Structure 1
Amino acid sequence: MMLTPSAHKDTFCRDNLPPEADWPDLVFDLAGLNYPDRLNCASALLDATVAVHGRARPCLHTESETWTYGDLLDRANQIAHVLTDDYGLVPGNRVLLRAPNTPWLVACWFGVVKAGGVVVTTMPLLRAPELTKLIELTRPALALCDHRLLDELSAADTALPIASVGGPGDDDLIRRAAAKPVAYTDVRTGADDVVLLAPTSGTTGMPKVAMHFHRDVLAIADTFSAHVLRPHGADVFIGTPPLAFTFGLGGLVTFPLSVGASVVLLERPDPDALVAAIEKFSVTVLFTAPTAYKSLIKRDDPERLKSLRRCVSAGEHLPEAVFDRFHERTGLQIINGLGGTELLHVFISAADDDIRAGSTGRVVPGFRAEIQDDDGNPVPDGTPGRLAVQGPTGCRYLADSRQRQYVRNGWNMTGDTYTRDADGYFWYHARSDDMIVSAGYNIGAPEVEAVLDQHPDVVESAVIGVPDEDRGMIVHAAVVLRPGVAGDAAKARELQDFAKSTAAPYKYPRSIEFVDSLPRNPSGKLQRFKVRENWGTR
């Protein structure tokens, strides 16, 4: 396809797009997906919504305050002024965001986008070594960091300028913004200018970074949200995923704001806080992973969920038993969905009478999907194979040779094994790569191995995912220790604590076994399938 002229003065993103020959084929045959050449998704989601619904409409709720749409617009505009006036941001510069789910994080996201910047989303749990890798990959000009999360970012091996958000200093971003005008002229970016760099766990220790355009952010609202979720302006959304997850960005920003709905933001979305907020704010739409639905099923207060009308599950496979039990307890049918960072959001799903328990659903309007064999040929219905997807969004990795692994013959290869039935429903079997999906988190096995191998007592390790009733899968590590070191329970706990302190805590191995050696092929390549086989015989 022919890219529209870019408004970016900093050309880093466009310079590092993969060659167009390596892109997936893009599909725009659904009405509403033909966007103008000049498009700023912040203008479309925020300014346009204010123009339709007014400034006084509730937008962002927390336990202690509510921001209206006018509040969010003013503060996003003021932040855009700070970025351009005080920090010299030019269109195309990357800005790293690091914060829990708060109204100020949403305002920062919109401020960066309004100024023509590119958002680099980061999880609050990431540690300094992980942040260092992302900064080296994305080369941001600036970081906006919640003052409570400064330590790990400051410890990263980088000279990145950091602006504190919510801290006591006079130069804090919030204080700077308060002195700025509330009007701002948004940069007229191109529809296919990059707006978002989203890290995704890779199959090696180096993360992959998915690049998404302004039109992509709107396309997920005009496909899954408009045709499956079908929200309206009176809805109140809530969810557990961080806004750094594209699942969270869609469910807690793009979808509600596209229809003028409001959102409850939780900094620590444990089950008690989630249920309390649903009850307090009469929440109607919930976005979370199967792990959370399992927790809700075990509670004895389902009546506190009575305001809900839409429950969306993604991040990992939703077991049929969880769907059935949740329906029994609440009367609600969970909208199961399959998406991915590479395609930004959900592309297979079903709602209401279209739901078949145990199935992921059918292709979301605007997308196409088929099941292929190892050679890329479509297989008959009922035959397991590799899931291949096309749509208005698709994989574009930032300067990464793994682009050719994810995209094959114009299709996005999700890494999942599925079957499709004669009615077009897709049924999940397993991941077909080394990704571990645990409680909604994508964890690359080699990432955890690289952390464990840094411990002085570890010679080498192999990491796999093993089944778990509550989390779907957990991280399991087979570890070879140096001679003379005892492989006992105390050593396992020590390695777990080491992993938690070195990488994001959700990546640590919840199961560890000590072995004398690891299986490898004649060329020395680790054979994780044999580790899985050995675990399966225990």
Structure 2
Amino acid sequence: MIYQRFTEETVDEKGRLTGISFHPPEHFNFAFDVMDELGRTKPDERAMVWLSEAMEERVFTFGDFKRESSRAAHYFANMGIGKGDVVMLVLKRHYQFWFAVLALHKLGAIVIPATNQLMKKDFVYRFNAARVKAIVCTCDGTVADEVDLAMAESPTVELKICVNGERPGWRSFDAEYGAFPGEFPRPAPEEAPDNEDPMLMFFTSGTTGYPKIAAHSFTYPLGHVVTARWWHNNRPGGLHFTISDTGWGKAMWGKLYGQWLCEDCIFTYDFDRFDANKILPLFAKYHITTFCAPPTMYRFFIKEDLSRYDLSSLVYSNTAGEALNPEVFRQWKAATGLTLMEGFGQTETTLTVGNLLGAEPRMGAMGKPSPQYDVDIVDENGRSCVPGAVGEIVIRTDRGKPCGMFIGYYLDEALTKEAWHDGMYHTGDTAWRDEDGYFFFVGRTDDVIKSSGYRIGPFEIESVIMEHPSVLECAVTAAPDPVRGQVVKATIVLARGYAPSEELKKEIQQYVKKNTAPYKYPRIVEFVEELPKTISGKIRRVELRQEAQK
């Protein structure tokens, strides 16, 4: 596999990864060193199976991506986009996203993937915070409308380019880029970006404030070797499906770098709204072999009658993005025979903790630290916690920055130092580990509930509540209490066929008392139609806490 040119791995007698080091050449560039090389040596091998919302199918080879990204690179360069320029892509799951990303890498530009759910004020903030020069987005929907509304307050934006249509005042990518040559020369070393120059930036989820801009360097793609090879189990000849919009960091985990470093093929379904009944038949039709989705998607899957669907092509399944409830773990295994291999990471990193290939997962555990990172759990004074004690997950960097970890928060030294100091990057997530080194997620540092002297992690209660058949989604937060300081509150979205009632509320409370320590049961239960979420789909517990304060 091509990634082996840039890495050195050590494995134990059972074939499990025990160590990895990275050796990128000077001026490493994924578009040239990986994709163009695969386009040259394996031009006819499929790299992506793409399916439109209307179920129209297209298959792209490595040769196709080499050619089309070169045309796009010439096209962008012709408009004045070059090294160091910041370009935002709002392209959902349209195949032009991959052409554009690779093209911008070839130019040494900085890519910002973004979601199509942004509104005018979101664009204004992002354009100005990142000093965006060009925007490439879809013509359909409201995205281009919101961009146009934002332009009066966005002085750095010079170019507007749209795909899948034409629009007054915008350049048309589809109509124009194809006229350019299908070969793009690699720049001379003195003109090429350095390995630690910014290549890709993500706006973080922003669960508590304005999103930060996590900047990654040109070596970032190599950091996903562990993600793809040792967690997703990607290899040549497979077909990998990660459910994620390209506007989120998870798309880079499962829809681009690592899979192609492993010479695997990527499956992309360009749907607008998640529909389990449309997605489940695709596994058999396309013989999908490996799959990754957040627990929320699995929760929707297991609410269906999975016996109606042929999932036998799947050999491996993963989950990340939020903590995995044991009930989802059990029901997925019962239906498919597959163990859900959980993983943990952030926008600022690649996979940092996970159940890697050959691991023996433990119920409720995120797994063990990846050999790529020096991960620890520390107390408020920065000391390593003993097994069983809850602390903050940190990455120790006193011996160097791991490949795949972010450079810092773009143009914000203060925020970078707030999270990354004294040789440690502070994730803001809490966990505990057992005697064997397995990590168990607790929650964000500000999510922990302090009630009558107890410290209660919301996830453990949510996991019990999720076992109840009436519950589709839930969020556990603190609510103020004059006697206990705080009490546990559960905000619940009910599954189809259930209606809110006092009887159901008491039934859920009794279920929690029976299945975990009684002091953890939710003294307040509220039924809602939907939970407040960020545009990345993460539950905004801060909003629920603020509501409880009123």
TM-score category of the 2 structures, normalised to the smaller one: 0.7 to 0.9
- Deviation per CA, 1:230-256, whole angstroms, max 9, x where unpaired? 311111111221122221112011122
2:209 is equivalent to residue 205 of structure 1: yes
Find the partner of 2:161 among 163, 187, 211: 163
- C-alpha change, 1:504 and 1:384, in structure 2 (3 Å) is closer
Unaligned runs of 5+ in 1: 1-28, 436-466, 479-495, 514-527
1:215 is aligned to 219
Unaligned runs of 5+ in 2: 1-17, 397-401, 449-464, 481-528
**2 CA distance for matches of 1:328 and 1:226?**
25
**2 CA distance for matches of 1:385 and 1:398?**
28
2:110 is equivalent to residue 122 of structure 1: no
| Secondary structure of the structure 2 residue equivalent to 1:163 | strand
1:294 is aligned to 299
1:247 is aligned to 250
1:10 is aligned to none
Contact 1:81 1:181 in 2 (8 A): yes
Task: Give the alignment of 1:5-20 within 5 angstroms.
Answer: none
2:230 is aligned to 227
Contact 1:316 1:472 in 2 (8 A): no
| Secondary structure of the structure 1 residue equivalent to 2:22 | coil
1:275 is aligned to 280
- C-alpha change, 1:73 and 1:346, in structure 2 (3 Å) is farther
% identical aligned pairs: 22
1:25 is aligned to none
Structure 1: which amino acid aligns with 2:174? I
Aligned residue-pair number: 440
| Secondary structure of the structure 2 residue equivalent to 1:294 | helix
Contact 2:232 2:292 in 1 (8 A): no
Contact 1:474 1:511 in 2 (8 A): no
Task: Give the alignment of 1:273-352 within 5 angstroms.
Answer: 273-302=278-307, 303-352=309-358
Structure 2: which amino acid aligns with 1:311? S
TM-score after normalising by structure 1: 0.75
| Secondary structure of the structure 1 residue equivalent to 2:194 | coil
Contact 2:40 2:63 in 1 (8 A): no
1:196 is aligned to 200
Moved more, 120-129 or 348-357: 348-357
Residue 346 (structure 1) shift? 4.5
Contact 2:302 2:331 in 1 (8 A): yes
- C-alpha change, 1:475 and 1:380, in structure 2 (3 Å) is closer
Moved more, 361-370 or 334-343: 361-370
| Secondary structure of the structure 1 residue equivalent to 2:73 | helix
Task: Give the alignment of 1:347-496 within 5 angstroms.
Answer: 347-390=353-396, 391-395=402-406, 396-400=408-412, 401-433=414-446, 469-471=471-473, 473=475
Contact 1:246 1:345 in 2 (8 A): no
- Deviation per CA, 1:322-348, whole angstroms, max 9, x where unpaired? 111111111001110001001144443
**2 CA distance for matches of 1:337 and 1:235?**
21
TM-score after normalising by structure 2: 0.73
- C-alpha change, 1:370 and 1:346, in structure 2 (3 Å) is closer
- C-alpha change, 1:60 and 1:186, in structure 2 (3 Å) is farther
**2 CA distance for matches of 1:179 and 1:215?**
31
**2 CA distance for matches of 1:506 and 1:476?**
21
Contact 2:352 2:373 in 1 (8 A): no
**1 CA distance for matches of 2:417 and 2:165?**
44
Find the partner of 1:91 among 79, 83, 88: 83
- C-alpha change, 1:386 and 1:507, in structure 2 (3 Å) is closer
Structure 2: which amino acid aligns with 1:78? R
Aligned-residue Cα RMSD (Å) equals 3.1
Residue 53 (structure 1) shift? 2.5
Structure 1: which amino acid aligns with 2:92? P
- C-alpha change, 1:384 and 1:58, in structure 2 (3 Å) is closer
Find the partner of 1:45 among 4, 9, 34: 34
Contact 1:475 1:507 in 2 (8 A): no
2:261 is aligned to 258
Higher RCO structure, 1 or 2 (CA under 8 Å, sep 6+)? 1
Residue 511 (structure 1) shift? 12
- Deviation per CA, 1:200-244, whole angstroms, max 9, x where unpaired? 0336532100010111121222x2323333311111111221122
Contact 2:343 2:351 in 1 (8 A): no
2:78 is equivalent to residue 74 of structure 1: no
Residue 417 (structure 1) shift? 1.4
Residue 300 (structure 1) shift? 1.2
